[in-house]
């Protein structure tokens, strides 16, 4: 097998695993109504990555992961602080943190450009993602992180389920809610960070939201929803990477477009909650009602 | 006018425009819509290029306006169909942005517009891209574009000040009074799209979000009056541009990034020292004197 084939395999494996992990963790983010926090964290990861690069001097996915996790976590703390202590509402707090952190990231990026020579192409791919630029060690880090996230979700599934749906009850039965919330946040940040290189800062949030939202249309059970979201995510990852390989277009946007197509399909045609089936059901009910009314009328006439 | 003055004037115009529109976004709890529109506008610009084959002011404004309103409409529609609001915003803008990026990469060799430029802006090049009338230069194009949008924004706000005010603070009352709230909503979204695209070319998508939300949220900490808040957030926008430009020239970094950071610094300081809603005052009040 030549090098090209191995590279292609890497790309497929990593985008599939990434999609799987982000779809699964995205389910919880979506149900906790925190979809846009993922967006904020993806943007907030940039300064962390730049600082890690400045300290270490070269590209290393593991260090980037640590740096991005730190700055992503600081960003969530900032959002919570602003919401809790000022009259500024959550949406504005997210917007403030997102744009200011990203601005700081851009400042650091230009600083690196000027002071560290032209050796920043590795960082550059983080803005829009370039799955083809993944190297063997990147794939290792990505695989390990994604698998860890998936295992963590499986281990804490019951706890996450309870704190997502009924926080007060979870507190009542003695589950450490804030600790588990922290774990959940940490998992989201990790997925966002490993996704940055494959799909980029801007679109990483979509990989959290869109597959989960599509899965929401097919089922009412959290177990199925998590599995489906993971499946949709993995499918979009592979399909997007495949199209990007044959069309020479950037991977990230294609992954997202494919995920959105899945969402639109679910939104329209899902058996119970889909738009079409709702309309058909309404139509049938109306017909039923009309025929009932007709029968009542006839009954009165008799 | 010197090179520096043109840049400062551009940044200040962005600050004023964004401050005015952003105030209403913050009050209506729609800040994240600005994030959405600032990204999806990219598709509008690419679309305008594909139709008109040039990147001139008017066609770009029209394209952005169409896509901006489309974004708002889609978000609203999905929300009505039962998708929760944050997810609706997230799905719509990322999809439109993704389509924009793919289109750019397909036409990359012909469009003078790379995505990086769109995200980070090129305010440093603004003074060189001048508008010429009859062979005479009458100032940078970006300034005319921003000035034009500023005129529209001020006209809309002054013309429908009462309607904007009531529908932002008390939606139900506005509906009862017979104010066309839906129209007001779409007018505001139109203003947002125009402001975004006019600012976009010189300062980039992320700075637009910073300039829209952060100064307005800062002004929200300082005052309880809408008129004061509008003026305050415009002034804070201008102040942040000045400070940001100075930082950028001293350290030789991205101007738009530095401006975004300085809006954040101003917000952080205000968080503590704002007279009525600042944290220091709250804590002083709490501790027994």
Q: What are the start-end ranges of the H helices in chain A?
A: 3-31, 35-56, 61-85, 90-115, 121-128, 136-155, 157-165, 167-172, 177-199, 201-216, 222-247, 251-269, 275-301
Q: Which of A35, A96, A250 sits opposite B86 (nearest CB)?
A: A35
Contact list, B121 vs chain A (CB under 8 Å): none
Res. A101 pLDDT band, cuts 50 70 90: very high
Tens digit of pLDDT for each residue in A227-278? 999 999 999 999 988 888 887 777 888 889 999 999 999 999 888 888 888 8
CATH entry 1.10.287.3510 includes domain B3-205: no
Question: Residue A103 domain-assigned?
Answer: yes
Q: Which of A127, A206, A275 sits opposite B116 (nearest CB)?
A: A127
Contact A105 B257 (CB under 8 A): yes
Q: Which of B31, B105, B282 sits opposite A95 (nearest CB)?
A: B31
Whether the pLDDT of residue A1 is over 50: the answer is no
Contact list, A39 vs chain B (CB under 8 Å): 35, 90
Contact A128 B267 (CB under 8 A): no
* pLDDT value for A177: 85
Contact list, B279 vs chain A (CB under 8 Å): 85-86
* Count of A-B CB contacts under 8 Å: 192
Res. A173 pLDDT band, cuts 50 70 90: confident
* pLDDT value for B198: 83
Contact B87 A253 (CB under 8 A): no
Contact list, B216 vs chain A (CB under 8 Å): 92
Contact A99 B32 (CB under 8 A): no
Contact list, B32 vs chain A (CB under 8 Å): 36, 91, 94-95
* pLDDT value for B238: 93
What is the residue-averaged pLDDT of chain B? Answer: 84
Please name which of B248, B173, B203, B236 lies closest in space to residue B22, comparing C-alpha atoms. B236
| Domain spans, chain B | 3-205
Q: Which residues contact B45 (CB under 8 A, 6 or more apart)?
A: B55, B60, B63, B64, B100, B113, B118, B197, B200
Contact B256 A103 (CB under 8 A): yes
- Residue A64: domain span: 3-202
Please name which of A14, A11, A16, A15 lies closest in space to residue A231, comparing C-alpha atoms. A16
A161-175: average pLDDT: 86
Distance CA A172, CA A243 (A): 49
- CATH number of the domain within which A179 lies: 1.10.3470.10
Report yes or no: A40 and A102 within 8 Å, Cβ to Cβ: no
Classify the phi-psi angles of B203: left when phi > 0, otherwise alpha if psi is within -120 to 50, otherwise beta.
alpha
Name residue, tokens 């970094």.
B253
* pLDDT value for A127: 66
For residue A223, give Cα distances in angstroms to A80, A150, A175, A218, A250.
Answer: 29, 13, 20, 12, 33
Question: Residue A58 domain-assigned?
Answer: yes
Whether the pLDDT of residue A118 is over 80: the answer is no
User: Of B117, B243, B261, which to mutate for an interface test with A (greatest number of A Cβ within 10 Å)?
Assistant: B261
Tens digit of pLDDT for each residue in B110-129? 555 555 666 666 676 677 77
Q: A89: nearest CA in chain B?
A: B29
Contact list, A88 vs chain B (CB under 8 Å): 26, 217, 220-221
More confidently predicted of A120 and B185: B185
Q: B81: nearest CA in chain A?
A: A275
Distance from CA of B28 to the nearest CA of A (A): 10
* pLDDT value for A121: 53
Question: Residue A216 domain-assigned?
Answer: no
Distance CA A223, CA A202 (A): 29
Among the residue ranges A176-180, A214-218, B21-25, B215-219, the one predicted with the least confidence is A176-180
Contact list, B30 vs chain A (CB under 8 Å): 91
Contact list, B267 vs chain A (CB under 8 Å): 96, 100
Question: Residue A81 domain-assigned?
Answer: yes
Q: How many domains does chain A have?
A: 1
Contact list, A50 vs chain B (CB under 8 Å): none
Distance CA B43, CA B207 (A): 18
* pLDDT value for A56: 80
Contact A110 B253 (CB under 8 A): yes
Question: Residue A46 domain-assigned?
Answer: yes
Tens digit of pLDDT for each residue in B95-111? 998 898 888 877 765 55
Distance from CA of A16 to the nearest CA of B (A): 19
Distance from CA of A60 to the nearest CA of B (A): 23
Whether the pLDDT of residue A198 is over 80: the answer is no
Distance from CA of B29 to the nearest CA of A (A): 6
Whether the pLDDT of residue A4 is over 60: the answer is no
């Amino acid at each position: 097998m030549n090098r090209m084939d191995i590279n292609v395999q890497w790309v497929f494996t990593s985008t599939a695993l990434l999609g799987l992990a982000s779809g699964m963790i995205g389910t919880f983010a979506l149900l906790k109504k925190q979809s846009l926090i993922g967006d904020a964290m993806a943007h907030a990861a940039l300064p962390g990555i730049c600082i890690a690069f400045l300290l270490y001097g070269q590209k290393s996915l593991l260090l980037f992961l640590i740096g991005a996790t730190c700055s992503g976590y600081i960003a969530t703390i900032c959002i919570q602080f602003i919401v809790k202590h000022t009259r500024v509402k959550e949406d504005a707090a997210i917007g403030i943190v997102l744009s200011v952190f990203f601005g700081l990231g851009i400042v650091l990026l230009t600083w690196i450009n000027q002071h560290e020579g032209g050796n920043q192409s590795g960082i550059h791919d983080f803005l829009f993602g370039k799955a083809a630029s993944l190297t063997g060690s990147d794939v290792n880090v990505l695989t390990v992180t994604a698998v860890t996230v998936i295992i963590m979700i499986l281990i804490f599934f019951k706890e996450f389920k309870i704190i997502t749906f009924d926080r007060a009850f979870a507190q009542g039965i003695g589950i450490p809610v804030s600790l588990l919330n922290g774990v959940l946040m940490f998992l989201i940040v990790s997925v966002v960070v490993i996704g940055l290189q494959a799909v980029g800062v801007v679109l990483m949030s979509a990989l959290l939201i869109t597959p989960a939202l599509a899965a929401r249309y097919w089922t009412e059970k959290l177990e199925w929803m998590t599995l489906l979201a993971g499946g949709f995510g993995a499918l979009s990852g592979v399909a997007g990477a495949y199209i990007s390989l044959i069309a020479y277009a950037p991977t990230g946007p294609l992954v997202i477009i494919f995920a959105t197509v899945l969402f639109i399909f679910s939104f329209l045609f899902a058996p119970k909650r889909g738009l079409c089936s709702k309309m058909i059901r309404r139509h049938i009910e109306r017909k039923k009602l009309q025929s009932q009314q007709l029968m009542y009328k006839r009954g009165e006439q008799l | 006018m010197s090179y520096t003055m043109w840049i400062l004037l551009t940044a200040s115009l962005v600050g004023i425009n964004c401050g005015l529109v952003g105030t209403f976004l913050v009050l209506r709890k729609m800040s994240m819509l600005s994030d959405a529109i600032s990204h999806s506008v990219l598709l509008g610009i690419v679309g305008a290029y594909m139709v008109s084959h040039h990147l001139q002011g008017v066609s770009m404004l029209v394209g952005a306006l169409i896509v901006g309103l489309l974004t708002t409409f889609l978000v609203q529609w999905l929300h009505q169909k039962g998708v929760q609001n944050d997810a609706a915003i997230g799905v719509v803008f990322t999809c439109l942005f993704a389509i924009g990026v793919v289109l750019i990469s397909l036409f990359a060799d012909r469009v003078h517009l790379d995505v990086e430029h769109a995200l980070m802006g090129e305010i440093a090049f603004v003074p060189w891209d001048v508008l010429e009338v009859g062979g005479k230069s009458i100032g940078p194009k970006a300034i005319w574009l921003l000035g034009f949008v500023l005129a529209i924004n001020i006209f809309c706000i002054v013309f429908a000040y009462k309607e904007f005010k009531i529908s932002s603070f008390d939606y139900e009352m506005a509906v009862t009074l017979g104010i066309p709230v839906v129209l007001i909503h779409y007018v505001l979204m139109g203003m947002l799209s125009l402001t975004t695209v006019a600012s976009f070319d010189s300062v980039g998508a992320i700075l637009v979000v910073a300039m829209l939300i952060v100064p307005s949220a800062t002004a929200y900490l300082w005052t309880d009056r809408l008129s004061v808040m509008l003026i305050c957030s415009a002034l804070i926008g201008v102040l942040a541009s000045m400070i940001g430009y100075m930082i950028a020239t001293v350290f030789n970094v991205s101007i738009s990034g530095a401006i975004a950071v300085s809006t954040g610094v101003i917000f952080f300081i205000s968080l503590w020292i704002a007279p009525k809603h600042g944290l220091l005052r709250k804590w002083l009040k709490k501790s027994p004197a």
